[in-house]
A = this chain, B = another copy of it.
Amino acid sequence: MADNELQELRSQVDDINLQILDLLNRRARLASEIGKVQQRLGTTFYDPAREAEMLTNLERENNGPFSNETIKALFREIFRASLALEEKEARQKIRVMRKTADEHTVITMPDGTQIGAGDFSVISGPCAVESVEQIDEVAGALAARGVRFLRGMGWKPRTSPYDFQGLGIEGLKIARQVANKHNMYVISEIMDMSLVSQMSDYVDIFWVGARNMSNSFLLKAMGQVRQPVILKRSYGATIEDFLYAAEYIVASGNPNVILIERGIRTFEKWTRNTLDISAIALLKQESHLPVVGDISHSAGRRDIAIPLAKAVKAVGADGLMFECHPNPPVAMSDAKQQLSIPEMHALLDEITDTDKVLA
């Protein structure tokens, strides 16, 4: 008998569900209309005062059994869903988010070299440019393996003001000259938007570092350059923060953004940071931008570079970044994590089962 009773009650619930469904969709259509009017009026979709007013009305009319708190929570979800619908219609959501499964941003360099088109790209070079000899030795070795993207950092963001801060524009000139010699592209970090014009003559791809990931002025300036931009995830940023940072660049006019995951800060002490491999999987799934994994700054140690490189490739990243130095123990920064040239060869041997990285 209880079973029959249950059946009857459930069929009443089903009926109410469908009525709520109908009202929700009618409400969504009205919200969509309102959105269009707001666009004509030039106001934003989000109107907190109006929301507060609606919540107050509901609270006044609510006789339970749901508490006012519950009712308000449910309606806030409805408001959020309506807002999302309006925003979607207005600008088809966030630009960096994938709309269809086969949407892919491909970065094409002047000679046709691509990032994000299916091949696994390698970006490498020393932590910072220290001298012509140093970077020439590394660049030559990398170029011989078909690596086309040279890490050529003139400025080094450092925690302490007393640590080596890079050779500045001189370092960048060295990187340019060496890259030209070996037919490579220079990737170099920009630390402030005042450096844009000065750097533009020497740089093929701008790099925005982890410490500047949320520097909206710099991000907007990167929306104005003609070069592609590599954006590094801050060690304190969520995936969502990271995608919004990329959105600043893309929304400012530059669609050629590459995302680089470099580890987040956690309680683990055996690695400098924790490489967030799931973030690479999620970034590839949710965004159409190319994604690269940095195994040097995440691990902070070179002894696990090979397995991490394999994991980065296997999870579906478009490329790999690692630091390489002719003599890591005497490097002026990040000595523990840079690979020596023989270690670089060993790593590339392992990840290039196909000949794609090799010219």
How many angstroms from the CA of A44 to the CA of B162 in the assembled complex? 10
**B16-A48 in contact (CB<8A):** no
How many angstroms from the CA of A211 to the CA of B219 in the assembled complex? 13
How many angstroms from the CA of A237 to the CA of B216 in the assembled complex? 19
Q: Are A266 and B274 also in contact (CB < 8 A) when A17-B57, A24-B74 are?
A: yes
CB distance from A147 to the nearest CB of B (A): 20
A236: which of B85, B160, B191, B236 is its contact (CB, 8 Å)? Answer: B236
**A268-B275 in contact (CB<8A):** no
Q: How many residues of A contact B (CB 8 A)?
A: 127
Q: Which residue of B lies closest to A87 (CB)?
A: B162
**B23-A247 in contact (CB<8A):** no
How many angstroms from the CA of A211 to the CA of B218 in the assembled complex? 12
Of the listed stretches A3-11, A137-145, A170-178, name the one at the interface; the rest are far from the partner chain. A3-11
A191: which of B19, B52, B216 is its contact (CB, 8 Å)? Answer: B216
Q: Is A356 an interface position by the 8 A CB rule?
A: no
Q: How many copies does the complex hold?
A: 4
How many angstroms from the CA of A274 to the CA of B49 in the assembled complex? 30
How many angstroms from the CA of A81 to the CA of B71 in the assembled complex? 9
Contact residues in B for A161 (Cβ distance below 8 Å):
216, 244, 247-248, 251-252
CB distance from A129 to the nearest CB of B (A): 16
Q: Is A158 an interface position by the 8 A CB rule?
A: yes
Of the listed stretches A118-126, A199-207, A329-337, A338-346, name the one at the interface; the rest are far from the partner chain. A329-337
**B77-A77 in contact (CB<8A):** yes
Indicate with 1 or 0, residue by residue over A189-200, a CB within 8 angstroms of chain B CB atoms.
Answer: 001111000000
Task: Describe A's contact surface by its main secondary structure.
Answer: helix
Q: Is A284 an interface position by the 8 A CB rule?
A: yes
How many angstroms from the CA of A312 to the CA of B281 in the assembled complex? 12
Indicate with 1 or 0, residue by residue over A240-276, a CB within 8 angstroms of chain B CB atoms.
Answer: 1100100110011000000000001111111100111
How many angstroms from the CA of A51 to the CA of B240 in the assembled complex? 30
**A236-B265 in contact (CB<8A):** yes
**B304-A308 in contact (CB<8A):** no
**A274-B274 in contact (CB<8A):** yes
Q: Which residue of B lies closest to A214 (CB)?
A: B211
Q: Are A238 and B270 also in contact (CB < 8 A) when A34-B9, A70-B84, A314-B310 are?
A: yes
Q: Which residue of B lies closest to A69 (CB)?
A: B81
Of the listed stretches A25-33, A108-116, A179-187, A224-232, name the one at the interface; the rest are far from the partner chain. A25-33
